[in-house]
Amino acid sequence: MTAGARPTLKDIARRAGVSVSTVSYALNEQSTLPLSGTTKAKIRQIARDIGYVPNGLARSLQAGTSRTIGVLLDKPVTTPRYAAIVQGLVEGLTEQGLHLALLHKGPASQWVAAVRGYQLDGLIFVGHDDHEVPGELAELVAKHSVPFVALDCGAFGEERPYSTVDFDYRAGVELLMAELERRGTRTVYYLRPDLVSRAERIREQAVFSALGQRPEVALRVVSTGITAEHLKRLEENPDQQASYVHELAGRVEQALGTDGADPGHTTLLCSWGADVEAVYRVAQRRDPRYTVAGLAAGTLTTGLWPNLVYSRLPLEGAGRECARLIMGETSTSPVHEHLLLPPVIDAGQSTNSETSAPATAADEK
C-alpha cells in the first residue's frame, strides 16, 4: 500500500474547511479543547466517510510503547513443545492487548536495541530443559533493565532481575514413577542422553530418589547416543534426524536383547519426549507388553497406543503465564515473579495391570 492511498488529517481538514489541528482535536477522545458538538460531529463524519485511519505509529511514538512483545525461540517452532508454548503466548498476549513478534535468530544486541528503540516493549525467551539464558542476552537485559521473561531456563529458586517460568521436572518424575508402580513395573530402562544439563541432573536425582523408596524396582541405564556435539549437528542438519532415530532404535533393540526382564513388568523411560516414538516402536515390536514412558510428551497419542505414559508439561499454560508476567515487567515499577509449573500424568490403557485408569491430560502437545 502506498502512503498516498491512505486519507490524512489534511484531507479531512480540506473537506471540513477547518485547520489540521482542529481535526486533530475533534478526533482525539482525550482532548479537552472546547469544540462545538456540531463541528466535532461533522469532522468525525467526514473522517468516517473518507475512511480515515489514525496513524498507529504516530500514536505509539507519542505513547512511547509499541504494545508488541518480542518472542525469541531457542528451537524452531516446528518442535511440538515450542508450537504449544507459542500458542499459549499468542493467546495470552492478545488477551492483554499486546502483539507477538516472532523473532528469528540474530544477535541478542539486535533485540535489546529494538526494545531500547521502542519497537518492542519487552522480550520473552523460550528456552528448554533448564538451560541458562544465553550469557550475552542475560547481560544486556540486566544492564538496560529490559522487561524480560525467561521460560524453561532453570532459574527457579534463584534471584533474577526478570520474571521466570519453569517446569517442575522433579514432580514429573515422582508422578510418573508412582504411575509405573501402579502398573506393576519392576525394571526401568532409563533412556538417557549423554548431556550434562540442569534438567537432566534434576531428573536423574529424582529417579534415584524415587528408586530409593522402591527397592523392588531395578534400574538399567541405556544411553540414547546424544551428546552435546551430536545435538548441535542435528539441529544444524535436520535431515540427519533419520540416522539418529535409526541409531536410537538399534540401541534399544540391543538393550532389550541382552537380558530377560519380564516385558509385562518392564518400562522404557525416556528422558526426552522426542525419543518416545522410536523407543515405543522398537519395544512394541519385540513384545507388546512393554510399557513406554516419557518425562515429556511425544507425538504418539496415549488414547491410541496401549502401555504408553507421559508426564506432560503444561506448555500452553506456561505461554499464557509468560504473557501475564511480561505485563508486570513493563509496568513503571516492574515486578519479578518466579513460577514453577507441575506436569500431569497422561496415561493410555495398560494391558498388564488391572488397577490403572486413564488419567487426565493437560495441554502439552
φ, ψ for residue 158 (rounded to 5)? Answer: -120, 150
**Quick one: which of 107, 225, 250, 303 contacts a copy of itself (CB under 8 A)?**
303
Task: Please state the closest distance from residue 188 (CB atom) to a copy of itself, in A.
Answer: 23
Q: Rounded to 5 degrees, what angle do the CA atoms 226, 345, 248 make?
A: 20
Name the segment binding a copy of itself (CB under 8 A); options: 24-32, 34-42, 112-120, 155-163.
Answer: 112-120
Task: Please state the closest distance from residue 360 (CB atom) to a copy of itself, in A.
Answer: 10
Residues 147-166 that bind a copy of itself (CB under 8 A): 147
Site string for a copy of itself, 211-250 (x = CB under 8 A): -------------------------------x--xx--x-
State which residue, 30 or 332, has the beta carbon closest to a copy of itself: 332
3-class secondary-structure state, position 44: helix
Order the strands of the 291-294 sheet from edge to edge.
218-227, 187-194, 266-270, 291-294, 308-312, 344-347
The strand pair at 308-312 and 344-347 is best described as antiparallel
- Residue 122 binds a copy of itself (CB under 8 A): yes
- Residue 357 binds a copy of itself (CB under 8 A): no
- Residue 87 binds a copy of itself (CB under 8 A): yes
- Residue 107 binds a copy of itself (CB under 8 A): no
**Quick one: which of 160, 281, 336, 338 contacts a copy of itself (CB under 8 A)?**
281
3-class secondary-structure state, position 104: coil
Residues near 199 by beta carbon (within 8 Å), at least 6 away in sequence:
129, 130, 131, 154, 169
- Residue 24 binds a copy of itself (CB under 8 A): no
Distance CA 28, CA 244 (A): 61
φ, ψ for residue 187 (rounded to 5)? Answer: -125, 130
- Residue 2 binds a copy of itself (CB under 8 A): yes
- Using N-to-C axis directions, what is the helix angle for 169-182 and 198-212, rounded to 10°? 40
State which residue, 148 or 169, has the beta carbon closest to a copy of itself: 148
- Residue 27 binds a copy of itself (CB under 8 A): no
**Quick one: which of 24, 39, 96, 118 contacts a copy of itself (CB under 8 A)?**
118
- Of the CA atoms within 13 Å of residue 237, those in its CB half-sphere come to 8
- Residue 277 binds a copy of itself (CB under 8 A): yes
Closest CA to 313 of 361, 246, 275: 361
Q: What is the DSSP string of 165-180?
A: EEE-HHHHHHHHHHHH
Residues 182-211 that bind a copy of itself (CB under 8 A): none
- Residue 110 binds a copy of itself (CB under 8 A): no
Number of residues located near a copy of itself, criterion CB under 8 A: 69
- Residue 99 binds a copy of itself (CB under 8 A): yes
**Quick one: which of 131, 182, 230, 365 contacts a copy of itself (CB under 8 A)?**
365
- Residue 105 binds a copy of itself (CB under 8 A): yes
Task: Please state the closest distance from residue 285 (CB atom) to a copy of itself, in A.
Answer: 9
State which residue, 119 or 223, has the beta carbon closest to a copy of itself: 119
CA dist 196 → 29, 116, 131, 202, 240 (Å): 58, 35, 10, 10, 22
Three cell numbers written together for 234:
542435528
- Residue 356 binds a copy of itself (CB under 8 A): no
20-24: long-range contacts (C-beta < 8 A, 24 or more apart)? Answer: 23/47
Closest CA to 121 of 54, 63, 161, 163: 63
State which residue, 31 or 145, has the beta carbon closest to a copy of itself: 145
Q: What is the dihedral of CA 155, 295, 246, 198, to 10 degrees?
A: 20
User: What letter does residue 280 receive in the DSSP assignment?
Assistant: H
Name the segment binding a copy of itself (CB under 8 A); options: 37-45, 90-98, 258-266, 335-343.
Answer: 90-98
Residues that bind a copy of itself (CB under 8 A): 1-3, 5-6, 51, 53-61, 64, 66, 68, 76-78, 80, 82-84, 86-87, 90-91, 93-94, 99-106, 113-119, 121-122, 144-147, 242, 245-246, 249, 277-278, 281, 299-301, 303-305, 316, 330, 332, 365
